[in-house]
Chains A and B, each alone.
Chain A
Amino acid sequence: MTTAMFTLEFQDGTLLLSQSGAQIELPAELAQYCRHDPRVGCWRAEAFHYAEILTYLYQNKLPYQDLARAYQKLTLQFSEQRTARPYQQAALQAWMKARRRGIVVLPTGTGKSFLALLAILRSARSTLVVVPTLDLMAQWASQLEHAFQCPIGLLGGGSHDLQEICVSTYDSAVLQMNHIGNRFGLMIVDECHHLPGETYQQLARLCLAPYRLGLTATPDSPQQGNNILEPLLGNICYRIEIDELEGKVLAPYQTVTLPVELEEDELQEYQKNRETYLNFLHRNQLRLDSQQGWSLFLRACAQQPDGRAAFEACLKQRRIARNGRGKIQKIWELIQQHRGDRILIFTAENATAYQIGEQFVLPVLTHHSKIAERRQMLDAFRDGTYPILVTSKVLNEGVDVPEANVGIVVSGSGSIREHVQRLGRILRPSPGKKAILYELVSSGTSERYVSERRRQHRAYEKPDSMPT
């Protein structure tokens, strides 16, 4: 009788594990990852279990042939002159110690991508970097090309160029991973707090890369999503916060909350609509701070005769609080006050961003901006041609605008993550730089509670001008 031989193959984002020769019962350690697939007569596992399966076969000296892996060992030239900072060195060590699977939490502007370059260098395997936006894709590709002096593949934004080191958007990775999930030994997931989404987690599930590095400045709490991230990327293996690096690696900063009065007619309109909206909530015993709150509210609006009026009142009172005329005036004053500075203006909605852009003839960057113009605007902001840039959400994350030193949050959600990311945009250090983040809050409106909610992070635990 011949010895049992295991064969591992990659098929459409899954692993097929078959046996030839003597058939032995699948060991429990392997069976926990596999299901028997009667359609093909062998065992099937999700591709992300590749490392565990292979390690078990290897450690237990079970004969196997690995036909699944299609990634390469690379010989890389590293032309980066920078040296790793102590915390980057520590993060790299922690990741290596965690068997090259884990999440590193570093604040924006502290060199997450340099850490990734070091991880690629040390792993020396075909690598896929997954990023949430096209801007980030271009930024990563240029850094990788500069560091390794080799062609960098791009997946997304109309490009389909597969290379040993490749950058992809999350969306393209989800679409392609069935076919390319065995081509990479290292997967780096930038802004990995997006990964737990139902669709995006597929990109990590369908890929067999044994080495995985997640990067984020704002991880979810364990209750929110890390229970999904842990099996896909590994645990948080290193973490350092904004306030620990302020004044050293990050620019010193100040956060200022500016109360803005609504004008009389706005206030009346706000109160009238808020009352309609709150009455509807109370009558239906709805709480919007519960997990299902918003969808229950929408359902109630669709079912009840006065639902539409309540829905419209909800939107109107929010619009008034977010975009009152006083805020527009305050933006103008801040622009005048910070002449010579590099200012980023953040809004919650595209419409407000364009309203500000039209009114003060300022460049506006949203997801509607075409790629070429987006690049031109970012370049002009970086070189100072445009000292002010208005944006809704596209600059919340990742895109490198180190020159910015003033942020004005006109409106936003109650998300702590969004607020911390916006602060991060202006903290890249440069000699003598002192950053300041303004937050405009309409007095006497629910915006105050939204503001309090999003400031519940240690980065904001410093005194500022918020009146008590």
Chain B
Amino acid sequence: MLTKNLIQCRLKGDKIQPILLDTNHPERLAEAEELLAIFRQGQGMRKSELSSLLTPLLNNIRPLALGKGLYKLLEDRSIFSNPAELDYPEERRKLLTLSAKLLQNRQWDSPDEFRQALLQNAGEENPLLAQDGLYADLPENDSLVSFKDLNARQLLERYNIGQVQALLLSAECLELRVNSSEPAKLRRLCKYLRFFRLLCQIEAGKKGSDQEKLLRLQIDGPASLFEHARSYGLQLATFFPAVCTLETWQLRAEVQWKEKKRILTLEQSSELVCPYHIFGAYVPEEIKLFQSHFKETVPDWQIVNESPFIRGEGSEIIFPDLSFKNAAGELRHLELFHRWHAKRLPARLTWLEKHPKIPLILGVDRVLLRNPELEERLQNSIWFAKSGFFFRDYPSCEKTRQCLNQNK
């Protein structure tokens, strides 16, 4: 990821736009290719040697920050190690102890006289007494062990994504407009929202209108209400590549730039490319555990890989956490309510009571029972007694099974 000081952007009024590279531009591709060639052939080279090869190239790239940004991305993909076969700290300890003794023993007329004495005592062949030998294990002397290769276009694409991510690090909120006709990708997006503990409100366009397929996602972190709190910027930035996997999207974010609030807008025509080929492959640990345990202990139901979106009350869209199917082909969806999105629970309950045929069951974190009104509402709900259950932190397979069977 790029850092804020490497961002290239344009300001116009209250708008901020990252200067995205044309990833087909022959000159840019050639510059990227030259940098890549050095990293590809640089195995075994010291950082300082790499730097001496790269500096003339980087100095020719305009603006200079672009060169620095590309270098940062390449360095992030490299593994360096200390080439020393010597145990430098130990050898240094011995030599420095000897040097200290000699310095303390007597007055020396000149540094040369002192060095001669040191050579005699430590041995002329001591590698630490060669030029720049004492601290030869400094980071700039680390050598390149491996480099995760990519092609020139991919490097430029990563630079573009990196620019947006660096801006989102100081974002206060993010609004996404996406087309609901890509359910699989949207589901992946929603999984990521949950994984990064971002708060999200999803609204659908009015039924029957030309915006029927449009979804509006308002995304931010819990502390977004406060001026100074942007601790969720990293989550927003890390989440962003998932947006680029969608065919149609528009993004609007409020970002802090040099102590002013600026508006960042982007859309699919920005041609940003998600750098992760298997971005959707990550499954949080608790879900993995639940899935494997469920498979072992609940033979009559199986977890369905993809959950559909369900239209809720008004324009609200419900994204179930898990979906299940039994041998008879019956489908049930499970929505979980944790403390950070408890507000919608009463309305959801009322809606489900009115529409008992919706194949949705609810799991509610027990922590929500601390609210006496909500507790009373749940205890008195006949629908919840049949189609809902309580859990702590994450639901158990047995509770889920019981509820699925009750709801048949």
Partner of B229 from A2, A20, A202 at Cβ < 8 Å: A202
Q: Mark B193-234, 1 if CB is under 8 A from A, else 0.
A: 000010101000000000000000000011101101101000
Determine if B277 is an interface residue (Cβ-Cβ < 8 Å). no
Given A205-B229, A302-B63, A336-B108, is A354 in contact with B135 using a C-beta cutoff of 8 Å? yes
From known contacts A9-B339, A12-B197, A339-B103, infer whether A20 and B372 are also in contact, taking CB-CB under 8 Å.
Answer: yes
Binds B, one of A138-146, A265-273, A282-290, A361-369: A361-369
Stretch at the interface among A37-45, A129-137, A412-420: A37-45
* Bitwise interface map of B from 99 to 140 toward A, beta carbon under 8 Å scored 1, else 0: 110011001101100110010000000000101111100110
A12-B197, A13-B231 are contacts. A361–B372 as well, Cβ < 8 Å? no
B222 touches A339 (CB 8 A): no
Asked whether B100 lies within 8 Å of A385 as measured between CB atoms, the reply is yes
Least Cβ–Cβ distance between B322 and chain A, in angstroms: 23
**Inter-chain contact A358/B135, CB cutoff 8 Å:** yes
Does B228 lie within 8 Å of A202, measured CB to CB?
Answer: yes
Give chain B residues whose Cβ lies under 8 Å from the Cβ of A7: 370-371
Binds B, one of A84-92, A111-119, A372-380, A425-433: A372-380
Judge if A26 is at the interface, Cβ distance under 8 Å. Answer: no
User: Which residue of chain A lies nearest to B109 when distances are taken between CB atoms in the complex?
Assistant: A336
List which A220-273 residues lie within 8 A (CB) of chain B: none
Asked whether B385 is an interface residue with its Cβ less than 8 Å from the other chain, the reply is no
Residue interface mask B275-309, A partner, CB < 8 A = 1: 00000000000000000000000000000000000
B107 (CB) vs chain A CBs: closest residue: A336
Of the residues A11, A202, A302, A336, contact of B340 by C-beta under 8 Å? A11
B96 touching A361, Cβ below 8 Å: yes
Chain B residues lying within 8 Å of A178, measured Cβ to Cβ, are 231
The distance in angstroms between the C-alpha atoms of A202 and B233, with both chains bound, is: 12
Residue numbers in B under 8 Å from A370 (CB-CB): 89
Chain B residues, CB < 8 A from A339: 103-104, 107
Chain A nearest CB, measured from B96 CB (Å): 5
Q: Whose C-beta in chain B lies nearest to the C-beta of A177? A: B231
Nearest-neighbor residue (CB-CB) of B140 within chain A: A368
A32 within 8 A of partner (CB): no
Question: Distance in Å from the Cβ of B133 to the closest Cβ of chain A?
Answer: 8
Complexed CA–CA distance, A336 and B341 (Å): 70
Which residues of chain A in 344-363 are interfacial with respect to chain B, using CB atoms and an 8 Å cutoff? 354, 357-363
Q: CA of A311 to CA of B293 in the docked complex: distance in angstroms?
A: 63
Interface of chain B: mostly helix, strand, loop or mixed: helix
Segment 8-29 of A: residues with Cβ below 8 Å from B: 9, 11-14, 18, 20-21
Measured in the bound complex, the distance between the Cα atoms of B129 and A359 in whole Å is 10
In chain B, positions 37-82 with a C-beta closer than 8 Å to chain A are 59, 63-65
A385 contacts B97, C-beta separation under 8 Å: yes
Contact for B138 among A18, A177, A335, A354, CB less than 8 A? A354
Interface residue? B86 (CB, 8 A): no
Q: Which residues of A contact B342 (CB under 8 A)?
A: 40-41
In the assembled complex, A456 has its CB within 8 A of some CB on chain B: no
Q: Which residues on A sit within 8 Å (CB–CB) of B132? A: 358
**Closest CB in chain A relative to B406 CB, distance in Å:** 29
Q: Does B343 contact A (CB under 8 A)?
A: yes
A463 within 8 A of B: no
B93 at the interface (CB under 8 A from A): yes
B95 interface neighbour in A13, A21, A38, A361, Cβ under 8 Å: A361
B373 within 8 A of A: yes
A449 at interface by CB-CB < 8 Å: no
Task: Please pick, from A13, A202, A205, A358, the residue contacting B134 in the complex, using a CB distance under 8 A.
Answer: A358
- In the complex, which residues of chain B have a beta carbon less than 8 angstroms from the beta carbon of A368? 138-139
| A residues near B89, Cβ cutoff 8 Å | 370, 372-373, 376
Residues on the B chain within 8 Å of A380, using CB: 93, 96-97
Note all chain B residues with C-beta closer than 8 A to A21. 372
Q: Would you give the shortest CB distance from B236 to chain A, in whole angstroms?
A: 14
Given A37-B225, A368-B139, the answer on whether A18 and B371 have CB atoms closer than 8 Å is yes
**Bound-complex Cα distance A177 to B135 (A):** 37
Please judge, given known A-B contacts A39-B341, A67-B370, whether A388 and B100 are in contact too, CB under 8 Å: yes
A195 at the interface (CB under 8 A from B): no
Q: A39-B341, A201-B228, A205-B228 are in contact. Are A340 and B222 (CB under 8 A)?
A: no
Contact B231 A206 (CB under 8 A): yes
Please indicate the chain B residues that have their CB under 8 angstroms from the CB of A39 in the complex: 199, 201, 341, 343
Residues of chain B with a CB closer than 8 A to A308's CB: 59
**Contact of A71 with B by CB under 8 A:** no
CB-CB under 8 A from B103, the residues of chain A are 335, 339, 360, 387-388
A372 to B221, CA, bound (A): 39
A35 at the interface (CB under 8 A from B): yes
* Cβ proximity bits A195-207 to B, threshold 8 Å, 1 near / 0 not: 0001001100110
Given contacts A13-B231, A20-B371, A360-B111, contact A41 B134 (CB under 8 A): no
A11–B339 touching, CB < 8 Å: yes
Chain A residues contacting B135 (CB-CB under 8 Å) are 354, 357-358, 364
Q: Which residue of B lies closest to A328 (CB)?
A: B111
Q: Give A174 Cβ to nearest chain B Cβ, in Å.
A: 8
Q: Is the CB of A44 within 8 A of B99?
A: no
Any B CB within 8 A of the CB of A148: no
B100:A46 contact, CB within 8 angstroms: no
Instruction: Say how far A235's CB is from chain B's closest CB, in angstroms.
Output: 19
CB distance from B75 to the nearest CB of A (A): 16
For A303, the closest partner residue in chain B by CB is B63
CB distance from A284 to the nearest CB of B (A): 18
Q: Does A294 contact B (CB under 8 A)?
A: no
* Distance in angstroms between the alpha carbons of A37 and B218 in the assembled complex: 14
Known contacts A44-B222, A358-B135, A373-B89; decide if A340 and B104 are in contact (CB<8 Å). yes
Minimal beta-carbon separation of A51 from chain B (angstroms): 17
Asked if A64 is an interface residue, CB under 8 A from chain B, the answer is no
CB distance from B366 to the nearest CB of A (A): 13
Nearest CB on B from A380, distance (A): 7
Nearest 9 pairs between A and B by C-beta? A41-B343, A361-B99, A35-B225, A373-B89, A12-B222, A40-B343, A14-B223, A20-B372, A363-B96
Having A373-B93, A380-B93, one finds 18 other A-B pairs with CB under 8 Å, namely A12-B340, A13-B231, A14-B222, A14-B223, A38-B343, A40-B343, A41-B342, A42-B343, A46-B226, A202-B229, A205-B226, A302-B64, A302-B65, A354-B138, A358-B134, A360-B103, A380-B96, A386-B96
> B residues engaging A (CB < 8 A)?
59, 63-65, 89, 92-93, 95-97, 99-100, 103-104, 107-108, 110-111, 114-115, 118, 129, 131-135, 138-139, 197, 199, 201, 221-223, 225-226, 228-229, 231, 339-343, 370-373
* 24 residue pairs A–B, Cβ–Cβ below 8 Å: A5-B372, A9-B339, A12-B223, A13-B222, A13-B231, A14-B222, A35-B225, A41-B342, A46-B226, A65-B370, A178-B231, A202-B228, A205-B228, A302-B63, A308-B59, A336-B107, A358-B131, A361-B115, A368-B139, A373-B89, A373-B93, A380-B93, A387-B103, A388-B100
